[in-house]
Amino acid sequence: MHTLKLLSAFLKMNIQMSLAYRADTIVNILLNLMWLGWELLSLNIIFSNTQTLGGWGIGELIALLGVFRLVNTLMIALIWPNTEKFNQSIRDGSMDYTILQPANSMFLVTFSRITVWRFWDLILAIILIVIGINMSGDLITAPQILTFILLALSGIIVIYSLWIVLIALTFWFTKFDNNVTILQALLDAGRYPATVYPVWLRVIVTFIIPIAVATTIPLQALRGELDFNQVLIFFFIGVASFIIASRVWKSGLKRYSGASS
């Protein structure tokens, strides 16, 4: 309950901040629609010259774009806004105030800033997934939808865990300012199915730096391409990622010396 109250307070504060800049919110939404149009146009150009891409048709790629935007939206709304603030707090010692709060420091760093207007993009992402699945002609069942939701959440946890590890490196390397750029570059690999990459790179984006777990894998579950054992493996990848990230974060906190040093 304490965590939910904190999350509610952060959400209300960020909604008030967004309402103070209504014109910026409208412009950002229009720009986001423009980028969506460009992404769909790019797919149309690709499929005007081929029937499949890595064994996937245009409907499946549109659905994958929806999954990618679903994950990316949550990252942009929750994670990116807090990175610069966190990096600065390590350098100027203001991280002291976060650590002294009676709440989990990793939670506070994650949710203190939320780009509220981005959440409407989640609706667009779901629409893209539905349209893509309908275009592909796949028959979806309730268990497949539940598995998709489970693995999508697991994939989001994987990306979140990667972010935690990258920003935690700031505890060791104070001027490590490229952490978001690195993660965004890695996440861009999830725009396309893992099957388009050579085998060695497919292994990397699936198991070593598991970007595909956040995009390709949930969609494969929605299409009924994964068996029960595979679902368990990819779910536990998310769990393991979070455990590792939490331990790295705690190790980083031990190295933090504060403003008094």
240-253 residue pLDDT tens: 999 999 999 999 88
* 260 part of a folded domain: no
Tell me the one-letter amino acid at 35. Answer: W
* 30 part of a folded domain: yes
Low-confidence ranges of the chain (pLDDT < 50): 261
pLDDT of residue 86: 82
Three-state secondary structure along the chain?
A: CHHHHHHHHHHHHHHHHHHCCHHHHHHHHHHHHHHHHHHHHHHHHHHCCCCCECCECHHHHHHHHHHHHHHHHHHHHHHHHHHHHHHHHHHHCCHHHHHCCCCCHHHHHHHCCCCHHHHHHHHHHHHHHHHHHHHHCCCCCHHHHHHHHHHHHHHHHHHHHHHHHHHHHHHCCCCCCCHHHHHHHHHHHHHCCHHHCCHHHHHHHHHHCCCHHHCHHHHHHHCCCCCHHHHHHHHHHHHHHHHHHHHHHHHHHHHCCCCCC
pLDDT of residue 76: 79
* 19 part of a folded domain: yes
* 234 part of a folded domain: yes
Q: What does DSSP assign to residue 140?
A: P
C-alpha distances in Å from residue 56, one per residue of 63, 111, 134, 144: 10, 36, 14, 19
pLDDT digits (tens, 9 = 90+) for 112-144: 777 777 777 888 888 988 898 888 877 788 889
Count of domains observed in the chain: 1
* 127 neighbors 62 (Cβ within 8 angstroms): no
* 189 neighbors 211 (Cβ within 8 angstroms): yes
Distance CA 147, CA 142 (A): 9
What is the extent of the structural domain holding 188? 2-255
* 91 part of a folded domain: yes
Nearest Cα neighbor of 125 from 80, 190, 45 is 190
* 217 part of a folded domain: yes
* 210 neighbors 158 (Cβ within 8 angstroms): yes
* 99 part of a folded domain: yes
* 261 part of a folded domain: no
* 163 neighbors 76 (Cβ within 8 angstroms): no
